[in-house]
Amino acid sequence: MRLDVNGETLDTDPRAGQCLRTLLREHGHHEVKKGCDAGDCGACAVLLDGQPVHSCIVPAVRAEGSSVTTASGLAPDDTLHPVQEKLIEHFGFQCGFCTAGMSVTASTLTAADLPDLDRRMKGSLCRCTGYRPIRAAIEESVLGPVRTTGRGEVDPVVGRSVSPEAARRVVQGLEPYTFDTSIPGTLTLRVLGSPHPHARIASIDTSAARALPGVVAVYTHEDVPGGRYSTARHEHREDDPDDTRMLDEVVRFVGQRVAAVVAETAAVAEEACRLIRVSYDVLPAVFDPEEARSAGAPLVHPDRTPDDRVAGSERNVVAALHDGFGGDIHAALAASEVTVTGTWQTSRVSHAQLETHGSLGWLDDDGRLVIRSSTQVPFLTRDEIARIFDLPADRVRVFAPRVGGGFGGKQEIFTEDLVALAVLRTGRPVSYEFSRADEFRRASVRHPMRVSVTLGATRKGELTAMKVDVLSDTGAYGNHAIGVLFHGCAESITLYRAPTKWIDAEAVYTNNVPSGAFRGYGLGQVILGVESAMDMLAERLDIDPFALRRLNAVREGDPLHEEDDKYEEDLVWGSYGLDQCLDLAESALRTGNGVAAPAGWQVGEGMAVAMIATMAPRGHIAHTSVTLRPDGVYVLSVGTAEFGNGTSTVHRQIAATVLRAGFDRLRLRSSDTDAVAHDTGAFASAGITVAGKALHAASLALEARMRRIAAEITGAEESACRLEEDGVHTPNGVVDFARIVAAAPEAERSEHGLVATGSEFGDLRSIAFNVHAVRVAVDAATGTVRILQSVQSADAGFVMNPAQCIGQIEGGAAQGIGSALYEEVMMDAGTVVNPMFRQYRVPQFADVPATEVYFADTSDDLGPFGAKSMSESPYNPVAPAIGNAIARALGRRPFEQPFSRDRVWRLMQG
Ligand code: FES
């Protein structure tokens, strides 16, 4: 058949049943992204004869004789469509995975569509931005003449809102993600999942699958390395239990890998999976975490011991924390003039990043294993793959191109181990890409937690005692179970100055889908309980909620940990901005801005506070280097990944500031194990506070070397030399970059030029705060909650890139609204029953109000240029603020998250 794609004729022969998206991608149109396979997300949108369609649900044969336009064909030659220009100008993307499809759909809108914008853009999901900048871009593109800027501010120094270097490529879909490449001869890997939540494989017959033409290999538990590991990755691998085998003879959740097929095509691999015959001995299963830790419960990992980092497998307990200070908690509560208590239940939340998990592996010319992966942790993945296959680390290379969102979900090994196995065994390139259903059934979710909080206080509102009890459901495996439990119970409780505190917390195995790292790393769940209980106390004592926090929250200089507290001993006060955050959020809420409540709806205001350390505990390591080439170009090498957090832009800004160079003279090489010695990875919001700090050190070291060399060449005083855009200016003349490189001593040279390195070991952590405040309206008749005003103040230290940082906060708020009101991975006897976006409600255009963002004026002693992290924390206070507002509106408090329409309606029915 023949069709026209972006003005060029394409003669092709689609396979039976093939969709337009895969046809276009197979012909190199990688700007058409894959997000869901079901027409729900819009990442694959193209124009078909001028009309926007989701190409994943359009049969390819329907395009015969038609004209197809993708994001890269919306405007001629080197130009961009007006909406693409505006998306850049408004910072309308973060990871950018949705952006090409978003551009296509938005390109068809006119001013007449603006009143109906929410509906017109309903099928275009963005998980990162919160939609506000996308809405602004669309409105401006259809209403007025377009001012073409190409990027935000021109001066690329820190503190300016500079657009990402990749912006033009992102809006056209031309910035490559993991699967936006074609390697001839690549095999496809697919997995057969368990139908049972708990079973032992009695026998497995793969003969029919192996006999199917096109099948290259079939692997079962008898074919894989026997060692156990964790899918979770941390700087210290001992932070997670060794409880996972690549393929196991015991399956512990529905969907767990039973066998892997490697075949010439995806269709053959999937057909072969259906031909595998498995006989299971079904084992008793447990789905409720309270039941799981009770006597007589089925045991999920009975053979694991404390040596495997499993605290008590005889009770299904992975991790436990029973600790406190300040004396007897029961006595302290009994002596308190007032007590409040409550128990909150949080839901299973999917990361729902638009780019699914996946990796692509091959052997390079040297026979070295190379894995291209959508990962937040290339170095930690490389190390564990090398360990599993008993390879020297330098025989494995892992790298990540731009990552299409992660939110913690890609701090795991979910595909790379099987890809490595298949590449090493077959010698051929192999790809394994999750479907959207795989994301729900086989990737991790946010730990559901039951959080009980009891507070004691004086009648004036001063806290006297704080008791917190947490039960975390880690699901079938303990990846991140320990860290999430400890972190969730840390800053959420350290935030307040109660003289007596006690924590009982346990993370428990069940036969549910495994939980894992999620933005906030446990704080979002525990803060829901603590901040809701604080609101109950404020109500009981008739004290303003802001005033109650001012009375009880930690102040600068307060002890941040007990003397024997090894987990928090590296916390220090680098700065303090909570007082400003409380003032900013309160005054913004008092303005009464926002939209009016519908007639007859009940209105309430709520607020909540979150505190977070600026990086992970016990070391987060980054090595970086900066190289000056003779042509004046600086090559920046960092290890951390760009997944929408904006660090690649801030890293360029740091180098541009120190080295007085425009972005056109900076080349960034990142997230590649060949680039630098080591980097812990893009998690715990460490992209600026660790990797950025290391790059700052490398840039300063290089600048000093350049001045020293110029001084030696000219005989000038080094202190009189300064680096400028054309070279080093000395009192005796300008020394250009080529001369500096030529004169560099051997010890300071690489094959490319003059090099300097910088490292950061993250051994001290500072503190950041966020305050979220909302006004909501609730329709008691239907349970519908509408957010009228949303405000967040942030203690981000020096703000390196204001537009990007605002985007992180708006996006965190949007994700918090999703968790608060809509999102829940629902399970029935271990089976996920809503494994697609149509049933799992990610906030859409209409669901997310604009969040007003305010920054405290602080500068941190630890961070580069005084910056703090601000990536995870904006998410944490949102759900409790909304819950508190609902409680104030209705006079009844919701205890079960999400506060969905049916739950709020039932709350009103008593
Ligand atoms: Fe929209 Fe990441 S920028 S999904």
Taking the centre of ligand 1 as the mean of its atom positions, its distance from the CA of residue 102, in whole angstroms, is 9
Mean pLDDT in residue range 291-300? 98
Q: What is the pLDDT of residues 508-544, one digit of tens each?
A: 999 999 999 999 999 999 999 999 999 999 999 999 9
Percent of the chain with pLDDT over 70: 98
Q: Which atom of ligand 1 is nearest to the CA of 43?
A: 4
Q: Which atom of ligand 1 is nearest to the CA of 96?
A: 3
How many other C-beta atoms can be found within 10 angstroms of the C-beta atom of residue 392?
8
- What is the per-residue pLDDT for 384? 98
Measure the CA–CA gap between 618 and 118, rounded to whole angstroms. 45
As a whole number, the mean pLDDT across the chain is 96
Whether 324 shows a pLDDT value over 80: the answer reads: yes
Whether 563 shows a pLDDT value over 80: the answer reads: no
CB contact at 8 A, 476 and 447: no
Q: What is the pLDDT of residues 843-874, one digit of tens each?
A: 999 999 999 999 999 999 999 999 999 999 99
Give the Å distances, CA to CA, from 283 to 3, 142, 650. 54, 60, 52
Q: Which atom of ligand 1 is nearest to the CA of 93?
A: 3
Please give the structure tokens belonging to residue 731.
Answer: 């009192």
pLDDT tier, 568 (very low <50, low <70, confident <90, very high otherwise): confident
Whether 234 shows a pLDDT value over 80: the answer reads: yes
For a pocket test of ligand 1, which of 132, 135, 354, 645 has the largest count of ligand atoms closer than 8 A to its C-beta? 354
Taking the centre of ligand 1 as the mean of its atom positions, its distance from the CA of residue 98, in whole angstroms, is 5
Listed in sequence order, the residues at least 6 apart from 101 whose beta carbon sits closer than 8 Å to its beta carbon are: 32, 33, 35, 41, 42, 43, 44, 45, 71, 124, 173
For a pocket test of ligand 1, which of 33, 91, 127 has the largest count of ligand atoms closer than 8 A to its C-beta? 127
Give the Å distances, CA to CA, from 745 to 632, 712, 737. 18, 11, 14
- What is the per-residue pLDDT for 565? 67
For a pocket test of ligand 1, which of 99, 407, 410 has the largest count of ligand atoms closer than 8 A to its C-beta? 99
- What is the per-residue pLDDT for 152? 55
Mean pLDDT in residue range 8-18? 96
Q: Which atom of ligand 1 is nearest to the CA of 102?
A: 1
Give the Å distances, CA to CA, from 137 to 106, 155, 501, 670. 9, 22, 49, 29
Q: What is the pLDDT of residues 756-814, one digit of tens each?
A: 999 999 889 999 999 999 999 999 999 999 999 999 999 999 999 999 999 999 999 99
How many other C-beta atoms can be found within 10 angstroms of the C-beta atom of residue 200?
14
Q: What SS3 state is found at 530?
A: helix
- What is the per-residue pLDDT for 151? 46
Whether 162 shows a pLDDT value over 50: the answer reads: yes
For a pocket test of ligand 1, which of 98, 170, 815 has the largest count of ligand atoms closer than 8 A to its C-beta? 98
- What is the per-residue pLDDT for 693? 94
- What is the per-residue pLDDT for 150? 44
Rounded to the nearest angstrom, the gap between the alpha carbon of residue 125 and the centroid of all alpha carbons in its chain is: 16
Q: What SS3 state is found at 792?
A: strand
pTM: 0.96
Taking the centre of ligand 1 as the mean of its atom positions, its distance from the CA of residue 620, in whole angstroms, is 27
Backbone angles phi, psi at 58, to 5 degrees: -105, 120
How many other C-beta atoms can be found within 10 angstroms of the C-beta atom of residue 242?
17
Whether 409 shows a pLDDT value over 80: the answer reads: yes
For residue 280, what are the β-bridge partners?
Answer: 201
Mean pLDDT in residue range 411-425? 98
Measure the CA–CA gap between 99 and 756, rounded to whole angstroms. 36
Please give the structure tokens belonging to residue 444.
Answer: 């991790």
CB contact at 8 A, 360 and 178: yes
Q: What is the pLDDT of residues 345-392, one digit of tens each?
A: 999 999 999 999 999 999 999 999 999 999 999 999 999 999 999 999
Please give the structure tokens belonging to residue 323.
Answer: 């600790």
Measure the CA–CA gap between 19 and 141, rounded to whole angstroms. 31
Which has the closest alpha carbon to 480: 306, 227, 816, 231? 231
- What is the per-residue pLDDT for 147? 54
Residue with the bigger pLDDT between 226 and 715: it is 715
Q: What SS3 state is found at 446?
A: strand
Taking the centre of ligand 1 as the mean of its atom positions, its distance from the CA of residue 54, in whole angstroms, is 17
Measure the CA–CA gap between 508 and 226, rounded to whole angstroms. 25
**Atom 1 of ligand 1, residue of closest alpha carbon:** 126
Taking the centre of ligand 1 as the mean of its atom positions, its distance from the CA of residue 99, in whole angstroms, is 7
Which has the closest alpha carbon to 251: 283, 226, 274? 283
Q: Which atom of ligand 1 is nearest to the CA of 353?
A: 4
Burial of 181 (0-12, 13-18, 19+ CB in 10 A): middle
Q: Which atom of ligand 1 is nearest to the CA of 95?
A: 2
Taking the centre of ligand 1 as the mean of its atom positions, its distance from the CA of residue 94, in whole angstroms, is 6
Measure the CA–CA gap between 69 and 782, rounded to whole angstroms. 42
Taking the centre of ligand 1 as the mean of its atom positions, its distance from the CA of residue 817, in whole angstroms, is 16
Taking the centre of ligand 1 as the mean of its atom positions, its distance from the CA of residue 494, in whole angstroms, is 33
Tell me which residues have their CB closer than 6 angstroms to ligand 1: 93-99, 126-129, 354, 405, 644
Taking the centre of ligand 1 as the mean of its atom positions, its distance from the CA of residue 644, in whole angstroms, is 7
Q: What is the pLDDT of residues 605-622, one digit of tens each?
A: 999 999 999 988 877 899
Mean pLDDT in residue range 251-261? 98
Annotate 324-375 with three-state secondary structure.
EECCCHHHHHHCCCEEEEEEEECCCCECCCCCCCEEEEEECCCCCEEEEECC
Taking the centre of ligand 1 as the mean of its atom positions, its distance from the CA of residue 93, in whole angstroms, is 6
Taking the centre of ligand 1 as the mean of its atom positions, its distance from the CA of residue 354, in whole angstroms, is 7
Taking the centre of ligand 1 as the mean of its atom positions, its distance from the CA of residue 405, in whole angstroms, is 7
For a pocket test of ligand 1, which of 33, 124, 126, 649 has the largest count of ligand atoms closer than 8 A to its C-beta? 126
Measure the CA–CA gap between 104 and 87, rounded to whole angstroms. 12
Q: What SS3 state is found at 89?
A: helix
Taking the centre of ligand 1 as the mean of its atom positions, its distance from the CA of residue 355, in whole angstroms, is 9
- What is the per-residue pLDDT for 683? 86
Mean pLDDT in residue range 709-730? 96
pLDDT tier, 686 (very low <50, low <70, confident <90, very high otherwise): confident
DSSP annotation of 628 reads E
**Atom 2 of ligand 1, residue of closest alpha carbon:** 95
Taking the centre of ligand 1 as the mean of its atom positions, its distance from the CA of residue 128, in whole angstroms, is 5
Q: Which atom of ligand 1 is nearest to the CA of 128?
A: 2
Whether 146 shows a pLDDT value over 60: the answer reads: no
For a pocket test of ligand 1, which of 41, 84, 88, 94 has the largest count of ligand atoms closer than 8 A to its C-beta? 94
- What is the per-residue pLDDT for 560? 83
Taking the centre of ligand 1 as the mean of its atom positions, its distance from the CA of residue 594, in whole angstroms, is 25
- What is the per-residue pLDDT for 567? 65
Q: Which atom of ligand 1 is nearest to the CA of 404?
A: 2
Taking the centre of ligand 1 as the mean of its atom positions, its distance from the CA of residue 832, in whole angstroms, is 25
Taking the centre of ligand 1 as the mean of its atom positions, its distance from the CA of residue 643, in whole angstroms, is 10
The CA R_g of the chain, rounded to the nearest whole Å, is: 27
For a pocket test of ligand 1, which of 90, 95, 804 has the largest count of ligand atoms closer than 8 A to its C-beta? 95
Q: Which atom of ligand 1 is nearest to the CA of 354?
A: 4
For a pocket test of ligand 1, which of 84, 97, 105 has the largest count of ligand atoms closer than 8 A to its C-beta? 97
